[in-house]
Amino acid sequence: MTPTAVRTVVVVGHGMVGHRFVQELRSRDEADRIRVVVLSEEPVAAYDRVGLSGYVGSWDITAMALSGNDYPDDDLVEVHLGCAAIDIDRAGHRVITDNGEFAYDALVLATGSYPFVPPVSGSDHPRSFVYRTLADLDAIRSAAEAAGPGAPGVVVGGGLLGLEAANALRLLGMTPHIVEFAPRLMPLQVDAGGGALLADLVTDLGLHVHTGVSTTSIADSTDSTPADSPLADSSLAVTLSDGTALTAALVVFSAGVRPQDALGRGAGLDVGERGGIITDTCCRTSDPDIYAIGEVAAVQGRCYGLVAPGYTMAQIAAEQILGSGRSTFPGADMSTKLKLLGVDVASFGDAMGVTEGALEIVHSDPVAGTYKKLVVSDDATTLLGGILVGDADAYAMLKPLVGQQLPGDPGALIAPAGGDSGIGLSALPDDAQICSCNSVSKGDICGAIAEGACTVADLKKCTGAGTTCGGCVPSLTKLLTDSGVTLSTSLCEHFTQSRAELFSIVAGTGIRTFSELIARFGTGGGCEICKPTVASILASTSSDHILDGEQAALQDTNDHFLANLQRNGTYSVVPRMPGGEVTPDQLIVIGQIAKDFGLYTKITGGQRIDMFGARVEQLPLIWQRLVDAGMESGHAYGKSLRTVKSCVGSSWCRYGVQDSVAMAVRLETRYRGLRSPHKLKFGVSGCARECAEARGKDVGVIATEAGWNLYVGGNGGQSPTHAQLLVSGIDDETLISYIDRYLMFYVRSADRLQRTAPWQESFEGGLDKLREIICDDSLGIADDLEAAMAKHVEGYQDEWAAVLADEDKLRRFVSFVNAPDVPDPTIAFDDSSGRRVPVLLGSPTVALHAQQEEAR
């Protein structure tokens, strides 16, 4: 029974920092002394505002949700969504909202910030927007879709948020213009050299950059626009301070943020000269019962606009309220690393070189599209900061070195590719911060490794490093290997090679048998790990039947009998229904088979019909009737494509914008029988309503007016993962070619039994690198991948049809080799509940059944 809480903490704001505070407080309140009430002005619970652009394309609010934001099974946390706080009665310890009053013992203000909109004439125009919330993006999307593909959009602000907004317009199919008052983009993060290169890089991507100018007015355009233009009757005239006039369908203000301190001001709390509720280093305001954290807090007069310092404040405030707090706010690491419009940008430490006597070391390569600058002390022995544009791979190693004595030449740290700095993570002291998002030091990580953490997943779990932005994951891997942890890639004791290496060996040598492969490249006789894995590789590299010759002995039970083994020794029969389509005649055949053989039938989540309870000797008889009806194996037993789920699409649905069924049938027909490291599931939705749940699939396809959006790496199961947007607005043929490449690259490079989600997560460079390989052909292997898939498609044969035509293969479908006509007497069913269920081995029912069979 949960003890009665003795104090109430009210949290105003349910953003990333407010949510972290609740988690910190509840995890530390072991005696359950505190009840937490969360007031959220937004109608949705805490979501990833840092990754707001990830909402564009998917339009899936659930994918943006922060883990645990509904506090499941915690009776001491209640969340009120769409409940705006409008006043604080400090004397009465109450928060007044538009939906009632809430009493508090302690109050935490986590109200964040609001977008700054410069005083521009016309800034309140109906087609002027800000870029801050999911609702803002929904409004921008509606205006962009109304304007049509290619329509220009103006973003006022060329900082971090401005470039994020420009990227969102680009993903929506618009042509963005960026207007920045400063002489360069990202003026707070990069210098003149870095800003110039950044402008060149984003211009090459189709953006138009206007720096050193401001926006003076926004008004309905008086210019004549062709009647067939998407801007007809809806264009804006955006005038800049240099006289330039831009035509736009919409304007997005993303010129920075200001602390959302109105609630604190109204309550008489002390505020800073430039805004923000002033706190001490314990995050306590001028009222000792009120705390402020995150962007609204001005700790000793200074506000911080990044999530990492907000997380630190959340922890400090939680400890203070519980009375266990000894830590104080230490200041914040304002380093940033991100990919904007596909361009790597990073800055850390004293990036602008304001430290007295600081020296700058610069390496600029306009041809390669990179700019690297280090700021060092006057004696060039201490790293103070730096800027990286175009290539930020060195960030993970450089940032922890800030403030540290350099053991070598600092210029070597940014030497051109091929140079060797001789400096790495091993040179860092234990107090060097590896994960700034969660304040995890090198010592914390090495300590976890010493206590037994031997994988990146272990380190994430026990230290929290790598769980927010993920930028430090390469460093975690390096620290593991530097600590002597061997991250083995061996398939098993018989092969020192990884699955990907064995795939390359088979493909390159033309080996077609397990015995030859293990004789030449392995040891021993093989095991239950390597045999099925090699069998899958052999199947992936040819169209040979999996039961031909030696291959038959390699298969596991399911593949051996081309059916899924069930708990009572029977098998399930699953015919393929591409895209969920099935004819009335085929339904009749399925029903008659189920009736004749006494099978249990069930509609699956993959839009097909499973028949359960077939004995092994019945499988050929059942499949003969299915094949005669024009049906084929659904591969429910194999590590291969299972289903392509679809909605009815534009053929029937009034919301559909593309023929999702036709595309689903095409995809399932194309990739059927493709053997892979693990099972594959697809989904095709005919519109953004997403009825086929495509974002929960390994490959998800969602229709839009502009074409297809392709998502990859979504998995259900024990660790559900949403698929990530690979590319948007593509036509049918481009979609097919990209899926060809993605699947074949996965088949070639994934580990044994590794689904697409963990493969994608562990892939060095992540989704961005995969996008370069799949869409941009950065490795020059696209033609090879497509040719390999074409070979598979051309050589496909239905596995069950081939078995039925081969007497040798048919002989294996018996319960007892020495008595092929005798059915297994241990198999029995119970129909007493009104539906057929198996009775397990050893039960009285099975024993009675066996005795009856023996008596006969």
Q: What domains are defined for the chain? A: 7-114+258-322 (3.50.50.60), 128-255 (3.50.50.60), 499-555 (no CATH), 638-797 (3.30.413.10)
Question: What CA dihedral angle connects 226, 230, 235 and 237, to 10 degrees?
Answer: -80
Query: What is the per-residue pLDDT for 839?
Result: 73
What's the CA gap between 379 and 382, in Å, rounded?
8
Query: Over the stretch 416-432, which tens digit does the pLDDT of each residue have?
Result: 543 444 456 676 777 77
Beta strands in 71-136 (DSSP E): 77-81, 85-89, 94-97, 100-103, 106-109, 113-115, 128-130
Are the C-beta atoms of 807 and 827 separated by less than 8 Å? no
CA–CA distance from 598 to each of 594, 616, 620 (Å)? 6, 14, 16
User: Which of 409, 429, 428, 405 has the alpha carbon at shortest distance from 420?
Assistant: 409
What's the CA gap between 339 and 201, in Å, rounded?
12
Other C-beta atoms lying within 10 Å of the C-beta of residue 189: 23
Other C-beta atoms lying within 10 Å of the C-beta of residue 153: 30
Query: What is the per-residue pLDDT for 288?
Result: 95
Q: Which positions ≥6 away from 107 have C-beta within 8 Å?
A: 9, 10, 12, 88, 93, 95, 289, 290, 291
Place of tokens 């697409």: 756
Q: Across the strands, what pairs with 680?
A: 641
Query: What is the per-residue pLDDT for 438?
Result: 75
CA–CA distance from 491 to each of 310, 488, 498, 523, 763 (Å)? 43, 9, 5, 12, 18
Q: Which positions ≥6 away from 442 have C-beta within 8 Å?
A: 400, 425, 428, 429, 430, 431, 432, 433, 434, 479
454 is in an annotated binding site: no
Torsion-angle region of 112 (φ positive above 0: left; ψ -120 to 50: alpha; else: beta): left
Query: What is the per-residue pLDDT for 528?
Result: 80
Query: Over the stretch 505-557, which tens digit does the pLDDT of each residue have?
Result: 998 899 999 999 999 999 988 888 889 899 999 999 888 888 888 888 788 77
Query: What is the per-residue pLDDT for 417?
Result: 44
Here the tokens at position 415 are: 């030497």
What's the CA gap between 81 and 97, in Å, rounded?
12
Q: Exposed (0-12), middle (13-18) or buried (19+): which is 30, by Cβ within 10 Å? A: exposed
687 is in an annotated binding site: yes
CA–CA distance from 166 to each of 109, 131, 196 (Å)? 31, 10, 17
For 641, the enclosing helix (H) or strand (E) is strand 641-646
Q: Residue count of the chain, please give it.
A: 856
Other C-beta atoms lying within 10 Å of the C-beta of residue 350: 18
For 614, the enclosing helix (H) or strand (E) is strand 609-614
Low-confidence ranges of the chain (pLDDT < 50): 1-2, 227, 230, 232-233, 417-422, 841-856
653 is in an annotated binding site: yes
CA terminus-to-terminus distance, the chain: 59
For 675, which DSSP code?
B
Query: What pTM does this model have?
Result: 0.58
Are the C-beta atoms of 681 and 642 separated by less than 8 Å? yes
What's the CA gap between 260 and 276, in Å, rounded?
7
Are the C-beta atoms of 563 and 556 separated by less than 8 Å? no
